[in-house]
């Protein structure tokens, strides 16, 4: 846990900045016609450093800054890999060029500020301090914002960010609808200058369960349009079958990660999930090896589950076992039963 350190309060920083601003020489006004223009050099502009009052910018230890939970970006998902470009840029420049927007914290002894916009910048600076640039500090711009204003500011910045997924944004909107707009979708759409129908779709997508999202290599692989289609189908009679298929795919994805293989592409996952919702009386599920060669296929209806194992696929025994278990789960979702209680568990 971060220890409390001796530090100036935000009020003292503000007052110091204001005092320096008032003490700074004023810029000269243009001389009147009657005034004589001398050769005296004009006063130099005031130094803009961490105490620059005009922009309220400071350089601080990132450990004293927490992340506002109302931001769409999930801090725990950030890594040196997905922040590599920003980390390299700051390391090359030797400093952070664009200030993060923060607001003061008054209810926590461990932190002075919280990030409203600039989560990746906070991560990048923290990473560099911990690895190669221990004296690097975090450039912040302080704003006084209530929660709704903070949400709107963060949303404006994140809309242009391709690395914030539609799922992250959808869940952020759903939380904000409850926290800031009392569930009034129309008022929220007006405040954010968004289409009400588009915002409604985002709120619908926010309810997609984590078990379904786990079928994708990353939640960022699922975009709004196919996600909205899945959300609609989940509310229909095919919902249980789609969920069982998603669980099957998620198990196969876990096996691939354990083997050091790339996840199945989003297009293939979507195809399997959409096929699971088709009205055909018999549906199939597949497991493929790293080269795309078929490893296992399963066909099921209410009376029969047929499994076929294919040689030479390069898939591990564990992946096959997981796929067979998932195929059984999917078949049971469609009415197939071995006559055993779902609570009965066989030993592995």
Partners of residue 102 on adjacent β-strands = 115, 142
| DSSP label at residue 62 | G
CA–CA gap between residue 70 and residue 171 (Å, rounded)? 10
Digits of tens for pLDDT over the chain (348 positions)?
444 444 455 555 555 555 554 555 544 444 444 444 444 444 444 343 433 344 578 899 999 999 998 888 888 889 999 899 999 999 999 999 999 999 999 888 899 999 999 999 999 999 999 999 999 999 999 999 999 999 999 998 888 777 788 999 999 999 999 999 999 999 999 999 999 999 999 999 999 999 999 999 988 899 999 999 999 999 888 888 889 889 988 988 898 888 888 888 999 999 888 887 765 434 556 777 767 788 888 877 667 888 888 888 877 888 788 778 777 777 776 667 776 544 444 444
Q: Read off the tokens for 295.
A: 């490893």
pTM exceeds 0.75 for this model: no
CA–CA gap between residue 196 and residue 199 (Å, rounded)? 5
- What strands, in cross-sheet order, belong to the sheet with 113-117? 57-60, 138-142, 100-104, 113-117, 65-67
Whether residue 52 contacts residue 17, with contact meaning beta carbons closer than 8 Å, is answered with: yes
Any residues with CB less than 8 A from the CB of 95 and at least 6 apart, and which?
136, 139
Q: Per-residue DSSP letters for 70-106?
A: TSSS-GGG--TTTTHHHHHHHHHHTS--SPEEEEE--
Q: Read off the tokens for 166.
A: 């539609």
Q: Which helix (H) or strand (E) holds 330?
A: helix 317-333
CA of residue 75 relative to chain centroid, distance = 7
Any residues with CB less than 8 A from the CB of 316 and at least 6 apart, and which?
255, 259
């Amino acid at each position: 846990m971060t220890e409390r350190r001796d530090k100036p309060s935000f009020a003292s920083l503000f007052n110091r900045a204001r005092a320096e601003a008032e003490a700074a020489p004023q810029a000269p006004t243009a001389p009147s016609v009657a005034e004589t223009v001398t050769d005296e050099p004009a006063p130099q502009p005031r130094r803009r450093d961490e105490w620059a009052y005009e922009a309220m910018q400071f350089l601080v230890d990132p450990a004293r800054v927490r992340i506002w939970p109302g931001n769409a970006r999930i801090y725990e998902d950030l890594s040196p890999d997905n922040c590599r470009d920003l980390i390299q840029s700051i390391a090359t420049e030797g400093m952070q060029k664009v200030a993060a927007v923060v607001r003061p914290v008054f209810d926590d002894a461990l932190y002075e500020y919280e990030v409203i916009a600039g989560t990746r910048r906070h991560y990048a600076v923290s990473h560099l301090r911990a690895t190669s640039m221990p004296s690097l500090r975090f450039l912040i711009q302080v704003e006084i914002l209530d929660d709704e204003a903070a949400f709107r500011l963060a949303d404006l910045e994140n809309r242009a960010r391709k690395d914030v997924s539609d799922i992250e944004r959808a869940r952020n909107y759903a939380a904000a609808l409850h926290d800031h707009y009392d569930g009034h979708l129309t008022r929220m759409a007006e405040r954010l200058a968004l289409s009400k129908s588009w915002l409604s779709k985002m709120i619908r997508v926010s309810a997609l369960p984590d078990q379904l999202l786990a079928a994708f290599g990353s939640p960022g692989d699922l975009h709004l349009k196919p996600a909205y289609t899945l959300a609609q189908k989940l509310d229909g009679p095919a919902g249980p079958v789609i969920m069982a298929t998603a669980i099957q795919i998620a198990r196969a994805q876990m096996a691939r990660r354990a083997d050091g293989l790339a996840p199945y592409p989003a297009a293939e996952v979507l195809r399997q999930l959409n096929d699971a919702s088709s009205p055909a009386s018999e549906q199939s599920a597949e497991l493929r090896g790293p080269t795309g060669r078929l490893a296992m296929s399963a066909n099921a209806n209410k009376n029969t589950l047929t499994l076929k194992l294919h040689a030479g696929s390069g898939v591990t025994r564990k992946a096959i076992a997981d796929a067979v278990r998932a195929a059984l789960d999917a078949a049971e979702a469609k009415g197939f039963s071995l006559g055993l209680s779902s609570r009965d568990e066989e030993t592995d």
